[in-house]
Amino acid sequence: MNLQSVKHRFGIIGNTPALDRALSVAVQVAPTDISVLITGESGTGKENMPQIIHSYSARKHSEYIAVNCGAIPEGTIDSELFGHEKGAFTGATDSRKGYFEVANGGTIFLDEVAELPLTTQVRLLRVLETGEFIRVGSSKVQKTNVRIIAATNENIQQAIEKGKFREDLYYRLNTVPITLPPLRERQEDIYLLFRKFAADFGEKYRMPGIRLSEDAVTTLNSYRWPGNIRQLKNITEQISVIEKERLVDSPTLIKYLPSAGSGSTLPMVINNQSGKGSSDFSERDLLYKVLFDMKKDINEVKQTIVHLMKNESSLSHNEKTAIITKLNKEMDNNELPSQDISYDNIDISSKKNETENFEYPEAIQENVVIEESLSLEEREKELIIKALNKHNGRRKNAALELGISERTLYRKIKEYDIQK
C-alpha cells in the first residue's frame, strides 16, 4: 500500500524514515488481530496509529473506542472498561455495559495504558489471553472479541522494575511495537508541519497565513520542541492570532519559544552520537536536573561565604552572627545573597584564636555539612506537597499544576503518605 495515500487520508505530514517505518508497520499489522503497543513522547501523534490500524483492518465497520486510561478515576475504571451490575456499588442504579462489551467485534485503543491500576491490569490480561471478562458486581463470565491497541509515553521497563506495571501484561500488549520519533529527530519535517498549521489557522481565522524569514526557519528547526507536534501547533496558532505582521523573523519567533532565550533548548545538536542517551530523558528528569543544578550553585555560594566569614577577624562576633543569620534565611528561601552584604573589603587575617572560638548558627552548619538529597522520590514528594499547599489542598488543581492525572496524584499521595 502506498504510504503517501495513508498520510493524505489521515493528514500526516512528514517524510522522516522513522515516521515512514512506523506507518509501514501499522499498515502491515492492520489485517491481523495482533495486539500493538505504541510508544513515543507526549505530543508525537500516537493517537493516529490505532485509527490507521482499525481503518485498514477487517474490523473497520465495527466499533472503535478510544479510552484515556489516565483520565478515569481509579475507583470507576473497572466499571468503565468491563461494565457493572445494578447495585454493585453506591450510585449503580442500573446495569451498564463496559467498553469491552460495547466494542465486541471492533477495536479498543487504551491510551496512557501505564496509568492503569494493578487490579485492572489483571482483568485486562485475562481479556487478552482468553477473551473473557466479568462485570463489576457479577459472577457471570462473558466473552468478547476485541482487538486491543495500547499506547504510552512512559518507560514501561522502568514501571515494571518499580512494580507499577505487570511484566506479563507488557509482553501480551507488546506483540508488535510501534515507536513514533520525537519532533526533534524529524528536523526536515518541522517546517512542513509549521506551514500546514499556518495555512489551517489562516483559513480558520480568515486572515493571511503567517510566513517565516530565513533566520526564523533556522530558529524553528534548531529548537528542541519538548512538546513535539502539539507544542508546534499551539505556538503556530498563537503567532497567527497575535502577530500583525504576516512575515515573522527570528527575534519575534523566539518570544514564543519557552526557554529559548536562556539557551537551554537552543540550538539543537542533530545526530549527536556522543549523547545517545540524552533523548531518553523525560520532561520530569530535565526538571529535576535543573533543580539539582540550581541547588548545587546556591550551596556553593553559601559555602564560599561561610569560608570567608571563618577567616575574617575584622568583624565583631555580633556582626558575623547577623550576616550569617541573614544569609541562612535567604538561602532557605532559595534566594541568592542580598546585594547589601559586601565582602569586597574583607582582609583575611590569621587571628586564629578569634576564628576558632567563633560559633556559627546551628542552621547554617547543617546546610553546609549535610549534602543535598538526590532522590527523585523525595523531589517528587516535595513538588506534590508544594502544589497541594499552593492550591489549598485542592487535588484537581494540584494535578493540573503538576501535569499529571488526578488519579495519579491520588496514588502518589497514598504512596508517599502525604497528609493533606
pLDDT tens, position by position, 271-320: 444 444 444 444 555 566 667 667 666 777 666 666 665 555 555 666 66
Tell me the three cell numbers of residue 165: 506495571
* More confident position, 411 or 360: 411
Which SS3 state, helix, strand or coil, does residue 169 take?
A: helix
DSSP codes of every residue in 313-354? -SS-HHHHHHHHHHHHHHHHTT-PPPTT---TT------HHH
pLDDT band at 407 (very low <50, low <70, confident <90, very high): confident
Cell 485498514 sits at which residue? 56
Phi, psi of 45 (to 5 degrees): 90, 35
Q: Name the CA radius of gyration of the chain, rounded.
A: 28
* More confident position, 29 or 407: 29
Which SS3 state, helix, strand or coil, does residue 248 take?
A: strand
Tell me the three cell numbers of residue 190: 518541522
pLDDT band at 369 (very low <50, low <70, confident <90, very high): very low
